[in-house]
């Protein structure tokens, strides 16, 4: 592995490769596309949270001049969904609607206003059903009918998924504890709020469908279109337009993408649909509201002996990523703390709200918030320093957790030292109204398994070199996080050229090999490794050609590649030599994560080839009179393995801090009487410039053995510790616990009132409902020092199985 001195472009704070296009306004986002004869599409959505569709009459709409096509549920009957186990959505519903905003019909017209007017003339008769609007209600048998068919859910009440795992001897663990504490927490749902409204444009020419979309996952949209439209995949092309922000919110295939595709097929004209901001709130797939119960046993000294979790997720109306989300509320706790016995029970319910899914941190910010606060309280119980209590339970690098997650590089200690020292946490000013809080977290550098089960690579890169230069092709989707820049930097580094000399074609399913997309923080690690492999193979071709020309034999390492040269030749000359020698030059690279999970069903969620680590200290002022909280400064350290571009890493860390603060203080996807309370950017509060504190960022580099140049993720992990650090700081300031997110002034005042009355100085959920999680899957913990992966690990499982059968 090349060290920093030898690296020419990796590790330098260079501008993004698309910076000029973005600061001049010439970057073309999906809604900027305007094709000749293009029609505009609007979608009719349910005004009811839960209803049977009795009839849909679109006769009048079809008669309006300028209307070119109207679709109803009959036209798109095939179900889809991001996960193979949750094919529960339709592009247009024909039987029933499950939330306010569920799509029912669509119109394509020559003008958007005509399409909008046509929607108003479509008559839909609904048979209203009782809406289910909370976790508690969803756990009860419904008064009329469940939101989804039992044939699909195979669950009682409105339950969607239930999981129950026990790792190690929980009973013995709790028996060994000197102190046991239970707490209940609630994390309210919130949404991504990307600045760009979702938009898609479709054309259908010569029997081939092309869709431009503001999506994070062109490959998964490709699959969904092929399925619902019953087209072979080679007749469908999905192109990721320049992307105006996702944060997980554009990681599902969406109704409007399928609808414009069908409308283009029906009309033979290009069709565009751009969601209104209100519709974006309904498209959602955001943070699940999660109710959590946690019980931990500790020794007098603060060492964790056992931990037991129960979670209940409010999934909204559809499956989305929910079957994975429920696991994520229980899997990654063990990646920061060494917990010798661990039990996790989780359930996701359906409710008549906009569907929840993955938002930055997918399913893990909620338990992270609960876990960090819970440990703060335990430290207080024991009279221990919370930082030291956490620290003595930190996982060690290169170990395997009780739930079989393989931890490799781990900068928890270093991150903690950085923020504790820089913030002066130990010498902090102690006065009412001012407080500091500390928290840590971990996140995946890409999920170890794909959305749909297969053995193929998770990322593939093709590299073409000819007399005109270098072009890289990769399905990875630039969503603003710097995906394209990572590819360019890695390839430039290996070929010894400038990143500006690498032409990129990304996220176009006709041209680029598959990359699974921008979710689960996978791009730097997986596409980065694929690019690295492709570039190293290309480099070898260039070096071989130069060696042959100059008569070098044997050790080719004396031919240096760098600064635009290959040995004694310029890069261009080397390309010419190699093309003359080998013919058309291309190389490929791919990345497939090894099998890492344990020998049990459900072990596919949680494993990642590497985990990033973060630590955060936050200082705030809280006004006991108004309940207002003002965050003054945030210190955040993030172990990114290696910063391929420190400028972009810092940008991801700062953006994560911001988004975490928004969730901690104000953002709320709340409902009243079956409707979203504030589907607008004015009422859905998010932090502005003046709400944002100063942020001091520390990039910690642990040089991961498997990441490209040692790199891990940066886009999601740093959000996680911010939220619990805020609640811990609030306790430091006012002596109250807000066991709920967001921390609104109203909740602060309620907790202060309880405190003044001599009650528990707290605001939060009172209890946890009874949930039947079913029988547990009991799993033997691994040897913590056994780090085998892939075929070696599978061979070990087969051997163990064989022994048991004997």
Partner 1 sequence: MNKFDLRLARPYAPQQFAMLNELDRDVQREALRLRVNGEDFEILVPVHKTLLEVLREDMGLTGTKHGCELGECGTCTVLVDGRPQLSCLLLPIQLGRSEVTTVEGLGGTAELTPLQQAFAELGAAQCGYCTPAMLLAATSLLRQEPKPARQRIREALAGNLCRCTGYVKIVEAVELAAERTSHG
| Binding residue for partner 1, selected from 627, 655, 710, 721, defined by CB under 8 A | 655
Q: Is 66 in the site for partner 1 (CB under 8 A)?
A: yes
Helix axes 528-550, 571-582, angle to 10 degrees: 80
In angstroms, the CA 430 to CA 683 distance is 35
Whichever of 263 and 275 has its CB closer to partner 1, that residue is 275
Stretch that binds partner 1, among 60-68, 346-354, 547-555, 614-622 (CB under 8 A): 60-68
Q: In terms of Cα–Cα distance, which of 454, 526, 25, 32 is closest to 241?
A: 32
Q: Is 16 in the site for partner 1 (CB under 8 A)?
A: yes
Alpha helices in 666-744 (DSSP H): 722-734
CA distances from 787 to 209, 214, 332, 408 (A): 46, 39, 17, 9
Structure tokens at 802: 């064989």
Stretch that binds partner 1, among 112-120, 313-321, 488-496, 738-746 (CB under 8 A): 112-120
Stretch that binds partner 1, among 2-10, 254-262, 501-509, 682-690 (CB under 8 A): 682-690
| Binding residue for partner 1, selected from 234, 468, 680, 756, defined by CB under 8 A | 680
Query: In the complex, what is the shortest distance from the CB of residue 538 to partner 1, in angstroms, rounded to a whole number?
Result: 28
Stretch that binds partner 1, among 28-36, 127-135, 463-471, 746-754 (CB under 8 A): 28-36
| Binding residue for partner 1, selected from 192, 223, 284, 377, defined by CB under 8 A | 192
Structure tokens at 276: 């209104």
Query: In the complex, what is the shortest distance from the CB of residue 306 to partner 1, in angstroms, rounded to a whole number?
Result: 38
Whichever of 340 and 646 has its CB closer to partner 1, that residue is 646
In angstroms, the CA 492 to CA 509 distance is 24
Q: Is 17 in the site for partner 1 (CB under 8 A)?
A: no
| Binding residue for partner 1, selected from 47, 52, 62, 64, defined by CB under 8 A | 64
Q: Is 23 in the site for partner 1 (CB under 8 A)?
A: yes
Cis peptide before 536 (omega within 30 of 0): no
In this structure, are residues 309 and 367 in contact, taking their beta carbons and an 8 Å threshold? yes
Q: Is 422 in the site for partner 1 (CB under 8 A)?
A: no
Q: In terms of Cα–Cα distance, which of 452, 454, 486 is closest to 712?
A: 486
Strands (E), 215-280: 236-240, 271-274
Q: In terms of Cα–Cα distance, which of 18, 731, 773 is closest to 376?
A: 731
Q: Is 770 in the site for partner 1 (CB under 8 A)?
A: no
| Binding residue for partner 1, selected from 2, 3, 4, 26, defined by CB under 8 A | 26
How does strand 159-167 pair with strand 777-779? parallel
Neighbour count for residue 674 (Cβ, 10 Å): 17
| Binding residue for partner 1, selected from 111, 632, 791, 799, defined by CB under 8 A | 111
Q: Is 651 in the site for partner 1 (CB under 8 A)?
A: yes
Q: Is 657 in the site for partner 1 (CB under 8 A)?
A: yes
In this structure, are residues 272 and 31 in contact, taking their beta carbons and an 8 Å threshold? yes
Site map (CB under 8 A) of partner 1, residues 478-507, x = contact: -xxxx-------------------------
In this structure, are residues 722 and 657 in contact, taking their beta carbons and an 8 Å threshold? yes
In angstroms, the CA 409 to CA 43 distance is 48
Whichever of 19 and 456 has its CB closer to partner 1, that residue is 19
Structure tokens at 8: 């020419």
| Binding residue for partner 1, selected from 1, 427, 429, 689, defined by CB under 8 A | 689
| Binding residue for partner 1, selected from 695, 729, 730, 751, defined by CB under 8 A | 695
| Binding residue for partner 1, selected from 113, 632, 746, 791, defined by CB under 8 A | 113
Three-state secondary-structure class, residue 651: helix
Stretch that binds partner 1, among 189-197, 204-212, 585-593, 607-615 (CB under 8 A): 189-197
Strands (E), 279-394: 290-298, 304-314, 342-349
| Binding residue for partner 1, selected from 8, 15, 469, 797, defined by CB under 8 A | 15
In angstroms, the CA 158 to CA 139 distance is 6
Site map (CB under 8 A) of partner 1, residues 264-283, x = contact: ------------xx------
Q: In terms of Cα–Cα distance, which of 123, 17, 28 is closest to 70?
A: 123
Q: In terms of Cα–Cα distance, which of 500, 503, 506, 514 is closest to 473?
A: 506
Residue 11 DSSP one-character state: T
| Binding residue for partner 1, selected from 54, 690, 805, 806, defined by CB under 8 A | 690
Residues in 236-255 at the binding interface with partner 1, rule: CB under 8 A: 242-247
Which residues contact partner 1 by CB under 8 A?
A: 15-16, 18-29, 31-32, 34, 36, 64-66, 110-111, 113-114, 117, 192-197, 242-247, 276-277, 479-482, 647-648, 650-651, 654-659, 680-682, 686, 688-690, 692, 695
């Amino acid at each position: 592995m090349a060290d920093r001195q030898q690296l020419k472009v990796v590790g330098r704070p260079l501008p993004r490769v698309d910076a000029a296009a973005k600061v001049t306004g010439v970057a073309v986002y999906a809604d900027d596309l305007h094709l000749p004869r293009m029609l505009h599409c609007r979608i009719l959505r349910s005004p009811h949270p839960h209803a049977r569709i009795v009839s849909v009459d679109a006769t009048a709409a079809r008669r309006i001049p300028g209307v070119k096509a109207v679709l109803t549920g009959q036209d798109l009957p095939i179900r889809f969904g991001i996960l193979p186990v949750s094919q529960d959505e339709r592009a247009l519903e024909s039987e029933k609607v499950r939330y306010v905003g569920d799509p029912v019909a669509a119109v394509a017209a020559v003008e958007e206003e005509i399409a909008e007017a046509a929607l108003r003339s479509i008559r839909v008769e609904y048979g209203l059903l009782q809406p289910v609007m909370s976790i508690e209600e969803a756990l009860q048998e419904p008064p009329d009918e469940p939101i989804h068919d039992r044939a699909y859910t195979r669950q009682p009440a409105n339950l969607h998924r239930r999981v129950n795992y026990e790792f190690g001897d929980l009973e013995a663990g709790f028996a060994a504890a000197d102190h046991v504490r239970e707490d209940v927490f609630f994390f309210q749902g919130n949404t991504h709020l990307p600045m760009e409204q979702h938009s898609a444009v479709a054309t259908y020419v010569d029997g081939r469908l092309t869709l431009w979309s503001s999506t994070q996952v062109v490959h998964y949209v490709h699959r969904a279109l092929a399925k619902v439209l019953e087209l072979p995949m080679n007749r469908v092309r999905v192109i990721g337009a320049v992307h105006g922000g996702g944060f997980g919110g554009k990681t599902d295939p969406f109704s409007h993408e399928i609808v414009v595709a069908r409308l283009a097929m029906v009309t033979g004209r290009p069709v565009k649909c751009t969601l209104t901001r209100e519709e974006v709130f309904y498209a959602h797939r955001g943070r699940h509201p999660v109710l959590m119960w946690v019980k931990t046993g500790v020794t007098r000294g603060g060492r964790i002996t056992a931990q037991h979790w129960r979670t209940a997720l409010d999934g909204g109306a559809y499956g989305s990523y929910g079957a994975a989300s429920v696991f994520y509320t229980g899997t990654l706790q063990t990646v920061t703390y060494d917990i010798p016995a661990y039990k996790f029970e989780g359930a996701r319910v359906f409710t008549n709200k906009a569907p929840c899914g993955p938002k930055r941190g997918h399913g893990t910010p909620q338990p992270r918030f609960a876990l960090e606060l819970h440990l703060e309280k335990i430290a207080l119980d024991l009279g221990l320093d919370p930082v030291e209590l956490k620290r003595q339970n930190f996982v060690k690098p290169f170990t395997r957790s009780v739930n079989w997650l393989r931890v490799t590089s781990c900068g928890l200690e270093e991150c903690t030292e950085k923020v504790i020292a820089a913030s002066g946490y130990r010498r902090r000013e102690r006065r009412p109204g001012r407080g500091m809080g500390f928290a840590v977290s971990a996140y995946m550098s890409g999920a170890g398994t794909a959305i749909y089960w297969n053995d193929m690579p998770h990322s593939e890169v093709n590299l073409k070199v000819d007399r005109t230069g270098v072009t890289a092709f990769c399905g990875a989707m630039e969503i603003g996080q710097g995906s394209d820049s990572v590819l360019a930097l890695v390839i430039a580094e290996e070929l010894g050229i400038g990143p500006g000399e690498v032409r990129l074609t990304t996220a176009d399913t006709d041209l680029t090999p598959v990359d699974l997309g921008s979710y689960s923080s996978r791009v730097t690690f997986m596409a980065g490794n694929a690019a690295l492999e492709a570039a190293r193979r290309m480099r070898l071709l260039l070096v071989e050609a130069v060696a042959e020309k100059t008569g070098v034999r044997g050790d080719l390492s004396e031919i240096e590649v760098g600064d635009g040269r290959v040995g004694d030749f310029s890069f261009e000359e080397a390309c010419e030599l190699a093309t003359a020698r080998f013919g058309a030059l291309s190389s490929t690279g791919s990345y497939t994560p090894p099998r890492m999970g344990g020998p049990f069903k459900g072990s596919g969620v949680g494993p990642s080839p590497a985990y990033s680590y973060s630590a955060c200290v936050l200082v705030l002022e809280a006004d006991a009179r108004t309940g207002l909280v003002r965050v003054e400064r945030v210190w955040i350290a993030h172990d990114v393995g290696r910063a391929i571009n420190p400028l972009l890493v810092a940008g991801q860390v700062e953006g994560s801090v911001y988004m975490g603060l928004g969730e901690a203080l104000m953002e709320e996807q709340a409902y009243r009487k079956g409707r979203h309370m504030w589907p607008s950017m004015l009422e859905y509060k998010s932090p502005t410039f003046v709400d944002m504190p100063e942020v001091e960022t520390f990039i910690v580099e642990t040089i991961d053995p498997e990441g490209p140049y040692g790199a891990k993720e940066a886009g999601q992990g740093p959000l996680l510790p911010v939220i619990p650090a805020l609640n811990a700081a609030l306790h430091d300031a006012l002596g109250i616990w807000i066991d709920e997110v967001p921390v609104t002034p109203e909740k602060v005042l309620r907790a202060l009132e309880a405190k003044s009355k001599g009650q528990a100085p707290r605001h939060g959920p009172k209890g946890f409902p009874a949930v039947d999680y079913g029988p547990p899957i009991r799993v033997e913990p691994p040897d913590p020092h056994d780090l085998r992966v892939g075929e070696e690990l599978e061979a070990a499982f087969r051997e163990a199985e064989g022994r048991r059968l004997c």
